Structure 1
Amino acid sequence: MATRKSARKKPSSPSSSPASASASASASASASLKSKRRKVEVKDEEIVNNGGTESTEMSLTVEGEEIADEEIVESPAGSGRKNTRKIVKKEETDCRFLGDPVSADEAKLRWPHRYPDKAEQGTKKPKTSQDDDDELILAKCHYLKAEVDGTKIFDLNDDAHVQSEEGKLPYICKIVEMFEGVDGFLYFRAQWYYRSVDTVIKESITLKETKRVFASEVMDDNPLDCLVEKLNIVRVALDLDIDSKMSAIPDCDYYYDLKYLLPYSSYIVPPPETTSPIGSESQSTISNDIEVDGAVADKKSDSAEVNQGKKAHNPETTLLDLYCGCGAMSTGLCLGANLCGTNLVTRWAVDFNENACQSVALNHPETNVRNESVGDFLKLLKEWPKICASFGLIKSENTNEKIDAMVVEDDEDDDGAENDSGKDDNKDEGEIFEVEKVIGICYGDPTKSGTPELHFKVRWKGYGEEEDTWEPLEGLSNCREKIGEFVKEGYKQKILPFPGDVDVVCGGPPCQGISGFNRFRNTENPLADPKNEQLVVYMDVVDYLKPKYALMENVVDLIKFAKGFLGRYALGRLVDMNYQARMGMMAAGAYGLPQFRMRVFIWGARPSEKLPQYPLPTHDLVLRGVIPTEFEMNTVAFNEGHTVQLEDKLFLGDAISDMPEITNDENRDEMPYSRPPETEFQRFIRMTKEAMLGSSNSSEMITKLYDHRPLRLNTDDFQRVCRIPKKKGANYRDLPGVLVGPDNKAKRDPDVEKELLPSKKPLVPEYALSFVGGTSSKPFARLWWDETVPTVVTRAEPHNQAILHPLQDRVLSIRENARLQGFPDYYKLVGDIKARYIQVGNAVAVPVARALGYALSVALTSDCDLDGPLLTLPARFPNLQEIPSSPSVEDNS
């Protein structure tokens, strides 16, 4: 079973934890305190009264400095009992408590842990809640007011600066206790605030306002004389821009609008206070008003509406899938959300890969699929409101000037000439082509002219679909009427979303600049690498559309490369855009797949929404790979010591043992099943789409198998594969002429003549012997039924990976790889063989997305607060007949 270390340990220093710098105030102050307490030297260690009436005074020193006097209080003569000591503390600094102490009864009621019963003291060593290695300081009495340095007055619940290391900014805290310890020292308990650079964001992004801090739940005890000065820290509503925040609050030292929690690097809206946060009554909303380059466009009432104060009833929750690939992430999210009662529908999808877009369109006819870069898509999104305003569809002072300037002939001109609004004399020299209709719109350079700009796709009168062309706006100067028809219909059909139309944005922006295959990675400034710019573009789309929720997926290198710079940046951008956020790592094998495949998932949620949780694993798994130590606590798993019964781990045979036998030359795209399902996984994966959505009988299964064909190996590789034994662990090392030494390195056996293939190439290729210095057993390796598989990749060549079928002389087929990624068998793919392998290998594992979709639905529909960052999925998920109405929540914080 996969477990993670408990996230309850207190950070110890700014450099030891991604979230510890502010908390290190306590570490520094407490270390100083402990040093003082340990170095007290007591002279005349013990005096016993045997009948006399002696009284002796003794002196205590700390590092040679006198700090207190101690007098002996006599015990009754002849009792034989030790005389008790009474410490009279001298003033090291001018600090003291003011006023009467809190009454004993009230103090015990408010801070019971400081006043344990004698029985408890004798049986259990007191501990703090932050660090089990620290003793809990017991209290003699509590106070409500203190004076430091003779002039500075602090009240309970005041905010304050606290001493830090020399040359560093002071720490920031709220004073939540003031007490004198039984050891005679004066203390305060600090609840710490974080600056952004002290959280996991660090310095990956500079937040816009230096006065912004984050509340926390980290608390510990410190010497009273560490207090520096009183502060004015105010809470403001999260969903305000910087100018609104500054105008809404009085002059203050700092303000906060989010709480930062160590588990899963979470930034959440703090729970309600007795008084509303400043600015909450004027909290901004995404409604029918759209800002277009400084102008406001009033959308018509049929456009999507988001009310930040309430959840309006909406039978459909809309999803935009960026970098959608073949649609695995959005498919899984929709399946999971629908299982929990949310009608999540992918309305828009964008990807640069044409074959992937065709796969999405084939499987999701309800989706408007756009084959373009996400950067061009964002530019079009910003142009679309202007275009709609040009045709009076929305109200705005700012419209598209080029469209406004288009010439439309008057129907009643002097010559009675026919309206030529659909004619274009620029199509070809000396020839006039008439526009039948406009059928598409994009921003970019589809004609390869070198000038990215607004284009419309045109169907020419008298010509077929194959003659459709992309035309720049300037080339359609007489086509305002035809463009208007397209725009009006597009507005009605919502072919492009306005801000507020999208409920959920998901996507996995490619970051090739962090790939280990990239020898020229920019470790100093990863965002300066053009190969990583899509991460910025993804966040720019979220910033513009302002969906209720955002979910970003990426490889673990996002938090491994350059000390996790890009992962920190992604979180920082969400926080900077006034989103709640958290980050977790999920392994596909933990949700019912025979591969490990760890990926990073980052949730974002608007202030008015509940921040979705991470669904805890449902299956045991075989661990592979290495998790970055700094982010180990971000792994979605049960805490160590947590007893839970998980489903058994899955192996290759559980996923593909029912597949029809095929050969290396198989060329059919569909075929009948040859045997019934043999495992629960196979029964579920063969269900119809309607059955998986819960809208029909779960026994309904599809009758045809799609994409069950392998990459055809060339003659040489096929002959090599045929010689690999059909046994567990077999690979190229089992071929004649290979010698494996005690160092596990393979080399040619000098005593065996090199065997050649009919092509005269060696049976054992040199690249296999030299791969990873001869230590790898992956080249031409067979998988086996009772094993998990390495991460499914985009290439199907057997030269450097284990991808051979256990018993058949071929690589795993497209469909077999798709099953290892959790794609339902009904899901068809488009493109040539290699293109389909790429789509499957790049996909998000569908069961992981399905579990996240369920968690999203819980956040959307739950009437109560979601405690903790983790959610326990229903038993037997997702193969359920009935879903419990109240999903259980795991408080694993």
Structure 2
Amino acid sequence: MSSRRRSKSDTPISPKPDPEASSSPKKKLKTELNADLTPISNSSPKSSAAKTRKVKAELRVEEDDAPARFLEPHFPDREARERWPLRYAGKKKKVVAEKNSRDDSEEVIQALHHYSQAKVDNITYNLFDDAHVKAEDGEDDYICKIIEMFEAVDGELYFTAQWYYRAKDTVVKDHAHLINDKRVFFSEVRDDNPLDCLVKKLNIARIPLTMDKKKKRLPSCDFYCDMLYLLPYSSFVKLPTSEKKVGSETSSTISSEVDTDGACEVNSEIGDVTQAQQCRKPEVTLLDLYSGCGAMSTGLCLGGNLSGVNLVTKWAVDLNQYACESLRFNHPETQVRNEMAEDFLLLLKEWEMLCKYFSLIKSKEPQQKYIDLFANEDEGEDEGEDEEEEEDEKTEDDGEVFEVEKILAICYGDPNETKKRGLFLKVRWKGYGSDEDTWEPIDGLSNCKEKLKDFVTSGYKSKSLPLPGDVDVICGGPPCQGISGFNRFRNKENPLEDEKNKQLVVYMDLVEYLRPKYVLMENVVDIVKFANGFLGRYALGRLISMNYQVRMGMMAAGAYGLPQFRMRMFMWGAQPTEKLPQYPLPTHDVVVRGVIPTEFEMNVVAYEEGHKDVHLEKKLLLEDAISDLPAVENDERRDEMPYDEPPKTEFQHLIRSPREERFDSSTMSKPAMHPLYDHRPLELNTDDYQRVCQIPKRKGANFRDLPGVRVRPDKRVEWDPDVKRVYLESGKPLVPDYAMSFVNGSSSKPFARLWWDETVPTVVTRAEPHNQAITHPEQDRVMTIRENARLQGFPDYYKLFGPVKERYIQVGNAVAVPVARALGYSLGMAFQGLAGDAPVCSLPKKFPNILKRHSSASSEEVA
């Protein structure tokens, strides 16, 4: 089952810098009672407690000068028992301490009385005051809200603290400098502490979470709080608009709807989905950054459509020209830009200035840059026509005059490869065709103000480039090659100094500039593993500093209907005005495996171990995905071919459905009209082909099955001294040395065959069989582009462009489409305000075939 185990160390009991391993102040700072109040050892616990209460009563007058005491009167016994029933159970009892503590439990300290006021070191504290709590030497004092004050039956005086976290004490840790040092985050973590641990009263202002930092006028206070910090999925969410009565065992201090344990069932009935579709909202715009061939945005749009949101990829940006070609073909509605993300950001800023200069956007500040650029032309407009005619006469004898007919495009960068970067315009010259179009720096077109105005006005109206406020959703996976295990020179001290990781900064800069309603960032799990999760924590810190609500989760592709494991990190961000999307729980029975740092085990999206009433679909196997595809040879060259047999599995029916069926339930069950695209393998060289031909066609077969290789008892390989080494026609050995030495001879991956009843670990970008299992089970070749695309969930209508190796790269770099589709459904529910407060939710039954089942049911009813 797709589940995970929670350990007791998962939840802290005080806001220490390392939340998952921290201890309570009470454990280190607990004070002893006066020896005179210690129960007599020969007495029973009950009689000892009675004697203690008697001594305490007799010494009440003397205690007025004690450093820590409660102020009378105490709560009436009946009210106290109603509000804190577990404190008056009559004996110590093991209970679940708090819902956020998950499976942790602790003894509930039994109470004699509850109070609303206390005096510690001559400072009077009221119930629900905020306060500093004594910390270890050299550390900042802890910060809490006092939610309970009580005297225990043994005479000890306690308060219950509900903790605030400073940024440095949260998952953000070393990136706390990104966040205002007066900002703290309220939590659901609470515990009991000796009364004399209180140090100082604090004034913590509760303020609304807003996107505009300038409008956030901070009141006079010690700290301010505008978000909750919830440990599951490293969540930061806005404070609830209303709070329940705090301090009671039967209520939460945060919200009656916050449940960090369970899964919130969201619209699991067919009727809910179709009703949402009938109330379709206007177009919701998506910008796909580092888009590749568009798998992530494709899945998001498919999932959003299923939830009733018309999510459309309006813009996409990627540096790979072949990936951009693929995206343009499959998404003609998308403005695809083949450029670096940092150039795209600079272009957007210039575009905004141009829109302001031409009065398309209101601006309080003059756009001096463009005022100066067009100054000469503006002055010339005031001169008479006679001067213009004279100028024309002068230029006739100077040679050919080039006149701008139309401005076609705009970019920021160095399109002419002159090593001079800046803003360029693509120009169509009057009297010349498209072959003569050129990129010109804007400085050289100062006499083309009207042409530029027409171009900018047209682009503004069509939203060819997004301006701040135009984008509803930004998604993307900024490449971070600097954390790759293949990079021997990784910077472990400060990964952001590595040029290979700077795209994460660019991604966040684009988010900060465009301010979308929602953000979804994807990356490899190494982002939370490498250098103690430095880059993952940075991404969280940047979003929080922009006042986005955030949460982070890890999802396995196989758990959403693919025969591939593939674990990836997904980080949600949402503006304060929006619901923070949930993570969709698995739909298929795949065991979540892989090395996840202990601190982030709570971020794996899976059902709790032992969760009842969970009925997951059977995990998919390789045969379920590709068994219907035609047999092809190693030297197959066709990019298109017909199917030679019908689909055999539900997965194959879905993956082969036509494009129209994905968005229009009225076209259900129509046969695919498109050919089969990209079903060709990387052609192996003669040597590798001959090697593959000798690998047995059975499960587990690999180079170890070739003659001359012997497997030792420790599972490592060695040369068999009794077998003469075999050589190929080329003179090279049948078993290459690199196969024997790979991973010190312990690996069985070189030239390994996949098998029909297996789940593939991860589709990669390279198709060479030298160090990975990528050989077809029964055909002497590597997996084709289309077979890999099937394992990634690409619909068969999705056609790829570029050389064969480039198409493998596009597929291997992609986000698994079913995972993106599930996230798109959650996004759509959040966009409509229908998402729950829990961090996870359950998808509708038989997702994503919900529309097909509904359509079939409707047909039966009509019949």
* TM-score scaled by length of structure 2: 0.88
- CA–CA separation in structure 2 for the residues paired with 1:845 and 1:790: 13
The 1:15–1:105 alpha-carbon spacing in structure 2 relative to 1, beyond 3 Å, is closer
Pairwise CA distance, 1:457:
1.1
* 2:87 equivalent among 98, 111, 114: 114
Partner SS state of residue 217, structure 1: strand
The farther-off stretch of 593-602 and 133-142 is 133-142
Q: Give the residue type in structure 1 aligned to 2:291.
A: C
2:5 is matched with 5
Alignment of 1:731-750 (within 5 A): 731-750=702-721
Deviations 1:507-555 (A, max 9, x none): 0000011111111111111111111111011001010110100000000
Work out whether 1:413 is the aligned partner of 2:381. Answer: no
Q: Give the residue type in structure 2 aligned to 1:629.
A: T
Pairwise CA distance, 1:35:
7.5
* 1:688 equivalent among 655, 658, 679: 658
Partner SS state of residue 204, structure 1: helix
| Gap runs ≥5 in structure 1 | 49-56, 61-67, 74-84, 276-311, 885-893
Deviations 1:280-336 (A, max 9, x none): xxxxxxxxxxxxxxxxxxxxxxxxxxxxxxxx9951110000000000000000000
The 1:420–1:161 alpha-carbon spacing in structure 2 relative to 1, beyond 3 Å, is farther
The 1:44–1:346 alpha-carbon spacing in structure 2 relative to 1, beyond 3 Å, is closer
The farther-off stretch of 380-389 and 557-566 is 380-389
- CA–CA separation in structure 2 for the residues paired with 1:730 and 1:516: 27
Deviations 1:777-822 (A, max 9, x none): 1111110000111210000000110000011111000000000000
2:371 is matched with 401
Q: Give the residue type in structure 2 aligned to 1:357.
A: C
* 2:288 equivalent among 321, 331, 334: 321
Partner SS state of residue 187, structure 1: strand
Pairwise CA distance, 1:469:
2.1
Pairwise CA distance, 1:571:
0.4
* 2:823 equivalent among 852, 857, 870: 852
- CA–CA separation in structure 1 for the residues paired with 2:765 and 2:841: 32
Work out whether 1:454 is the aligned partner of 2:454. Answer: no
* 1:436 equivalent among 394, 399, 405: 405
* 2:609 equivalent among 608, 630, 640: 640
The 1:38–1:493 alpha-carbon spacing in structure 2 relative to 1, beyond 3 Å, is farther
- CA–CA separation in structure 2 for the residues paired with 1:726 and 1:93: 84
Aligned pairs, number? 805
Work out whether 1:879 is the aligned partner of 2:846. Answer: no
- CA–CA separation in structure 1 for the residues paired with 2:142 and 2:681: 61
Pairwise CA distance, 1:424:
12
On the 8 A contact 2:158/2:192 being kept in 1, the answer is: yes
Q: Give the residue type in structure 2 aligned to 1:517.
A: F
The 1:103–1:537 alpha-carbon spacing in structure 2 relative to 1, beyond 3 Å, is same
Q: Give the residue type in structure 2 aligned to 1:45.
A: N
* 1:342 equivalent among 304, 309, 326: 309
Pairwise CA distance, 1:735:
1.1
- CA–CA separation in structure 2 for the residues paired with 1:469 and 1:527: 37
Q: Give the residue type in structure 2 aligned to 1:28.
A: P
* 1:867 equivalent among 825, 837, 841: 837
Q: Give the residue type in structure 2 aligned to 1:668.
A: R
On the 8 A contact 1:503/1:549 being kept in 2, the answer is: yes
1:95 is matched with 68
- CA–CA separation in structure 2 for the residues paired with 1:418 and 1:542: 51
Work out whether 1:621 is the aligned partner of 2:593. Answer: no
Work out whether 1:29 is the aligned partner of 2:9. Answer: no
Pairwise CA distance, 1:140:
1.1
Work out whether 1:352 is the aligned partner of 2:319. Answer: yes
Pairwise CA distance, 1:766:
1.0
Pairwise CA distance, 1:470:
1.4
Partner SS state of residue 492, structure 1: helix
Pairwise CA distance, 1:475:
2.5
On the 8 A contact 1:658/1:682 being kept in 2, the answer is: yes
Q: Give the residue type in structure 1 aligned to 2:624.
A: D
Deviations 1:160-199 (A, max 9, x none): 1111001111111111111111121111111110000000
Work out whether 1:148 is the aligned partner of 2:120. Answer: yes
* 1:818 equivalent among 786, 789, 792: 789
Work out whether 1:666 is the aligned partner of 2:636. Answer: yes
- CA–CA separation in structure 2 for the residues paired with 1:38 and 1:652: 72
Deviations 1:226-276 (A, max 9, x none): 11111111111211655543x441x2111101010001000001111379x
* 1:383 equivalent among 321, 343, 350: 350
- CA–CA separation in structure 2 for the residues paired with 1:783 and 1:493: 49
Partner SS state of residue 783, structure 1: coil
- CA–CA separation in structure 2 for the residues paired with 1:433 and 1:203: 57
2:178 is matched with 207
On the 8 A contact 2:304/2:825 being kept in 1, the answer is: yes
On the 8 A contact 1:796/1:837 being kept in 2, the answer is: yes
Deviations 1:559-603 (A, max 9, x none): 000000110010000000011000000000100111111000000
- CA–CA separation in structure 2 for the residues paired with 1:555 and 1:203: 21
- CA–CA separation in structure 2 for the residues paired with 1:483 and 1:238: 40
Q: Note the aligned Cα RMSD (angstroms).
A: 3.0
The 1:159–1:654 alpha-carbon spacing in structure 2 relative to 1, beyond 3 Å, is same
- CA–CA separation in structure 2 for the residues paired with 1:228 and 1:72: 29
Q: Give the residue type in structure 1 aligned to 2:12.
A: P
* 2:552 equivalent among 583, 588, 591: 583
Partner SS state of residue 318, structure 1: strand
The farther-off stretch of 548-557 and 443-452 is 443-452
- CA–CA separation in structure 2 for the residues paired with 1:331 and 1:841: 16
- CA–CA separation in structure 2 for the residues paired with 1:722 and 1:39: 88
- CA–CA separation in structure 2 for the residues paired with 1:208 and 1:451: 37
1:297 is matched with none
On the 8 A contact 1:13/1:20 being kept in 2, the answer is: no
The 1:386–1:406 alpha-carbon spacing in structure 2 relative to 1, beyond 3 Å, is farther
Partner SS state of residue 696, structure 1: helix
Partner SS state of residue 131, structure 2: strand
The 1:668–1:230 alpha-carbon spacing in structure 2 relative to 1, beyond 3 Å, is same
2:581 is matched with 612
* 1:185 equivalent among 145, 156, 170: 156
The 1:34–1:727 alpha-carbon spacing in structure 2 relative to 1, beyond 3 Å, is farther
The farther-off stretch of 792-801 and 734-743 is 734-743
* 2:517 equivalent among 538, 548, 552: 548
On the 8 A contact 1:7/1:262 being kept in 2, the answer is: no
On the 8 A contact 1:622/1:649 being kept in 2, the answer is: no
Pairwise CA distance, 1:377:
0.4
1:45 is matched with 42
* 1:367 equivalent among 334, 350, 353: 334
Work out whether 1:138 is the aligned partner of 2:106. Answer: no
Instruction: Give the number of the structure with larger relative contact order, counting CA–CA contacts within 8 Å between residues 6 or more apart.
Output: 2
1:595 is matched with 564
On the 8 A contact 1:347/1:367 being kept in 2, the answer is: yes
On the 8 A contact 2:112/2:153 being kept in 1, the answer is: yes
On the 8 A contact 2:211/2:575 being kept in 1, the answer is: no
Percent of pairs with identical residues: 61
Pairwise CA distance, 1:108:
1.8
- CA–CA separation in structure 2 for the residues paired with 1:844 and 1:372: 20
Pairwise CA distance, 1:10:
3.4
Deviations 1:117-148 (A, max 9, x none): x5xx59x6455224744200111111111111
Partner SS state of residue 664, structure 1: coil
Partner SS state of residue 551, structure 1: strand
On the 8 A contact 1:390/1:403 being kept in 2, the answer is: no
The 1:44–1:564 alpha-carbon spacing in structure 2 relative to 1, beyond 3 Å, is closer
1:280 is matched with none
- CA–CA separation in structure 1 for the residues paired with 2:53 and 2:162: 37
The 1:125–1:267 alpha-carbon spacing in structure 2 relative to 1, beyond 3 Å, is closer
